[in-house]
């Protein structure tokens, strides 16, 4: 294809007109089968509320809030206006030894949504950076307390904490780890929470006995004086919506507290209303020491992540460090004016439209609609919580993942965006979805499954 001639693309019409011109060679696409995509491109031109429009003019119902991030729906005018104003007024300002009011106002807005006492906020640009920042904060905390021997980080199998070295190492996805041989040293993993015996569970599984007590075994193995932090997603999202059993997170909290280990919740997916509450910590009634977020923070409109930290952790690092910079970590774009403006506008929108309460009120409709697929072809499990669901398919013989990937393409052609991981279909729509759109989503998916061999 020719190199794109026009660089002044502004409107959806411009994007549509440019699509045929696009040179696909240069963009090395993330987490993508590049060879397949570039031979069979699917390009978006615009997005509004619950729908994308492709460059072919097709309407696609967004069953995944983009990549779990567009919680307030697409094309929200107050967010766009806030970004535009910031770009005109203060395009960039450093936050190293200097600052600007938007970053402080954004931190206050985030703090108001966090569990009580977790009101100190460090800004990043993504979930991966939030995960690595959280791990570093945990290490800095123990170091400041004179317990520098605590260097071990405990994650969980099937956990996803992004792709940087810390998050990748603490994460428990073989495919993400094995090809990147170097790992952060001293990491260990708990077992994941998904019991194969329990299928078609609505919401949380019954208490799974002493699953969390495995942490006691790791403490006995390594010694509490070597363990800095345990990091888990309250609900594992990327590996297929693994909902924790009743009591599990509280038990992790109890054990970590007993041994002076910090508990980190990775709420990059669960933050900002996905479960019908501001955070999963709120939803489950379990408060960690450190909480990471990203996706819903700016409604996906500008990259931004954050780490909320308890006052104890924050004050320990700040007050017990020698004079000078207390925490040797940060990003050029931490608290970027455009992202900060987007975050302030996004969080106000969540409040103004009571979107978390809306999500909570629709969760039972969502649950019923998801579980109505239990008898659809190939379905071997359905899981759900809040406005998240997973439909797990039986893999094809000798071709794991192929059936779900085919369903993904068929769904797209039928006007529905879903996400697949292995043979699991994950669904997480914008929180503005209506009951009628929930039915449309699952009806379309049922039809797709009937057509998928
Ligand atoms: C729980 C969790 N942590 C971290 C990340 C990484 O976020 P990002 O892709 O913004 O780096 C993700 C992304 O899906 C996630 O789900």
- Distance between start and end Cα atoms, the chain: 34
Taking alpha carbons only, the member of 249, 252, 301 closest to residue 275 is 249
Pocket of ligand 1 (CB under 6 A): 126-128, 131, 160-162, 233, 237-238, 266, 268-269, 294
> What atom in ligand 1 is closest to the CA of residue 233?
1
Q: Which fold has domain 79-352?
A: 3.40.640
Q: Which of 66, 67, 69, 128 for mutating ligand 1's site (highest number of atoms within 8 Å of CB)?
A: 128
> What atom in ligand 1 is closest to the CA of residue 294?
10
Residue in the block written with tokens 């379309």: 444
Residues 189 and 157 sit within 8 Å (Cβ to Cβ): yes
| Cβ count near 111 (within 10 Å) | 15
- In the reported structure, the alpha carbon of residue 161 is separated from the centroid of ligand 1 by a whole-number distance in angstroms of 6
What is the distance between the alpha carbons of residues 108 and 112, in angstroms, rounded to a whole number?
6
- In the reported structure, the alpha carbon of residue 272 is separated from the centroid of ligand 1 by a whole-number distance in angstroms of 14
- In the reported structure, the alpha carbon of residue 240 is separated from the centroid of ligand 1 by a whole-number distance in angstroms of 13
How many angstroms from the chain centroid is the CA of residue 98? 30
> What atom in ligand 1 is closest to the CA of residue 303?
10
pLDDT recorded at residue 451: 97
| Cβ count near 351 (within 10 Å) | 14
- In the reported structure, the alpha carbon of residue 160 is separated from the centroid of ligand 1 by a whole-number distance in angstroms of 7
> What atom in ligand 1 is closest to the CA of residue 164?
11
Q: What is the number of residues in the chain?
A: 453
Residue in the block written with tokens 């990091």: 231
pLDDT recorded at residue 382: 97
What is the distance between the alpha carbons of residues 413 and 134, in angstroms, rounded to a whole number?
40
Which residues have a Cβ under 8 Å from the Cβ of 153 and sit 6 or more positions away?
A: 135, 138, 166, 169, 170, 184, 186, 187, 188, 228, 229, 231
H/E stretch holding 188:
strand 187-190
> What atom in ligand 1 is closest to the CA of residue 270?
1
How many degrees, rounded to 5, is the angle at CA 177 between CA 175 and CA 182?
155
> What atom in ligand 1 is closest to the CA of residue 130?
4
> What atom in ligand 1 is closest to the CA of residue 162?
6
DSSP 296: G
> What atom in ligand 1 is closest to the CA of residue 167?
4
Q: Which of 69, 70, 161, 307 for mutating ligand 1's site (highest number of atoms within 8 Å of CB)?
A: 161
- In the reported structure, the alpha carbon of residue 70 is separated from the centroid of ligand 1 by a whole-number distance in angstroms of 14
pLDDT recorded at residue 6: 56
Q: Which of 131, 291, 306 for mutating ligand 1's site (highest number of atoms within 8 Å of CB)?
A: 131
Which residues have a Cβ under 8 Å from the Cβ of 385 and sit 6 or more positions away?
A: 203, 204, 235, 241, 243, 275, 363
Taking alpha carbons only, the member of 153, 186, 188, 118 closest to residue 261 is 153
What is the distance between the alpha carbons of residues 38 and 23, in angstroms, rounded to a whole number?
10
The DSSP code sequence of 197-253 is T--S--SSPPP-TTGGGHHHHHHHHH-GGGEEEEEE-SSB-TTT-BPPPTTHHHHHH
Which phi and psi (to 5°) does residue 421 adopt?
-135, 115
- In the reported structure, the alpha carbon of residue 233 is separated from the centroid of ligand 1 by a whole-number distance in angstroms of 10
- In the reported structure, the alpha carbon of residue 331 is separated from the centroid of ligand 1 by a whole-number distance in angstroms of 17
User: Domain coordinates of the chain in residue numbers?
Assistant: 42-72+354-451, 79-352
pLDDT recorded at residue 2: 40
Nearest CA to ligand 1 atom 7: 127
For each of the chain's 453 residues, which pLDDT tens digit applies? 444 555 567 787 878 877 777 899 999 999 999 999 999 999 999 999 999 999 999 999 999 999 999 999 999 999 999 999 999 999 999 999 999 999 999 999 999 999 999 999 999 999 999 999 999 999 999 999 999 999 999 999 999 999 999 999 999 988 888 887 778 889 999 999 987 778 999 999 887 768 999 999 999 999 999 999 999 999 999 999 999 999 999 999 999 999 999 999 999 999 999 999 999 999 999 999 999 999 999 999 999 999 999 999 999 999 999 999 999 999 999 999 999 999 999 999 999 999 999 999 999 999 999 999 999 999 999 999 999 999 999 999 999 999 999 999 999 999 999 999 999 999 999 999 999 999 999 999 999 999 999
Is the domain 42-72+354-451 a CATH 3.30.2230.10 member? no
- In the reported structure, the alpha carbon of residue 376 is separated from the centroid of ligand 1 by a whole-number distance in angstroms of 30
Nearest CA to ligand 1 atom 3: 161
- In the reported structure, the alpha carbon of residue 268 is separated from the centroid of ligand 1 by a whole-number distance in angstroms of 6
Give the orientation angle of helix 337-352 with respect to helix 355-371, to 10 degrees.
70
| CA 199 to each of CA 12, 66, 241, 245, 365: distance values in angstroms, whole numbers, following the listed order | 44, 27, 13, 13, 19
How many angstroms from the chain centroid is the CA of residue 349? 19
How many angstroms from the chain centroid is the CA of residue 3? 34
What is the distance between the alpha carbons of residues 348 and 329, in angstroms, rounded to a whole number?
29
């Amino acid at each position: 294809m020719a190199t794109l001639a026009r660089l002044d693309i502004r409107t959806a019409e411009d994007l549509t007109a440019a699509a045929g011109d696009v040179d696909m060679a240069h963009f090395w696409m993330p987490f993508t089968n590049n060879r397949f995509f570039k031979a069979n491109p699917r390009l978006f031109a615009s997005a509004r509320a619950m729908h994308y429009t492709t460059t072919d003019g097709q309407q696609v119902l967004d069953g995944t809030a983009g990549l779990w991030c567009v919680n307030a729906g697409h094309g929200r005018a107050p967010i766009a206006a806030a970004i535009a104003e910031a770009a005109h007024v203060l395009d960039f300002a450093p936050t190293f030894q200097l600052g600007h009011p938007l970053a402080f106002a954004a931190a206050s807005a985030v703090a108001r949504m966090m569990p009580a006492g977790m009101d100190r906020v460090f800004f990043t640009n993504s979930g991966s950076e939030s995960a690595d920042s959280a791990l570093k904060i945990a290490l800095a905390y123990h170091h400041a307390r004179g317990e520098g021997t605590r260097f071990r980080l405990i994650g969980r199998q099937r956990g996803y904490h992004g792709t940087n070295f810390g998050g990748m190492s603490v994460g428990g996805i073989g495919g993400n780890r094995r090809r990147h041989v170097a790992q952060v040293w001293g990491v260990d993993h708990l077992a994941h929470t998904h019991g194969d015996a329990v299928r078609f569970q609505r919401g949380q599984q019954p208490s799974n006995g002493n699953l969390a007590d495995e942490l006691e075994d790791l403490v006995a193995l390594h010694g509490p004086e070597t363990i800095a932090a345990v990091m888990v997603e309250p609900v594992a999202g990327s590996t297929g919506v693994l909902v924790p059993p009743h009591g599990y997170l509280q038990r992790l909290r109890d054990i970590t507290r007993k041994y002076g280990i910090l508990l980190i919740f990775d709420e990059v997916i669960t933050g900002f209303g996905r479960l019908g509450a501001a955070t999963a910590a709120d939803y489950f009634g379990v408060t960690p020491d450190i909480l990471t977020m990203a996706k819903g923070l700016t409604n996906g409109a500008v990259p931004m992540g954050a780490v909320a930290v308890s006052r104890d952790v924050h004050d320990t690092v700040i007050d017990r460090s020698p004079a000078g910079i207390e925490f040797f970590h940060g990003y050029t774009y931490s608290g970027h004016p455009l992202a900060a403006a987007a975050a302030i506008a996004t969080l106000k929108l969540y409040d103004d439209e009571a979107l978390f309460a809306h999500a909570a009120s629709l969760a039972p409709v969502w649950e019923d609609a998801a579980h109505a697929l239990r008898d659809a072809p190939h379905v071997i499990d359905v899981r759900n919580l809040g406005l998240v669901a997973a439909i797990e398919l039986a893999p094809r013989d000798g071709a794991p993942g192929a059936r779900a990937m085919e369903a993904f393409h068929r769904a797209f052609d039928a006007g529905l965006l879903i996400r697949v991981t292995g043979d699991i279909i994950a669904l997480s729509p914008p929180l503005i979805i209506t009951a009628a759109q929930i039915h449309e989503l699952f009806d379309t998916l049922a039809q797709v499954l009937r057509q998928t061999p």
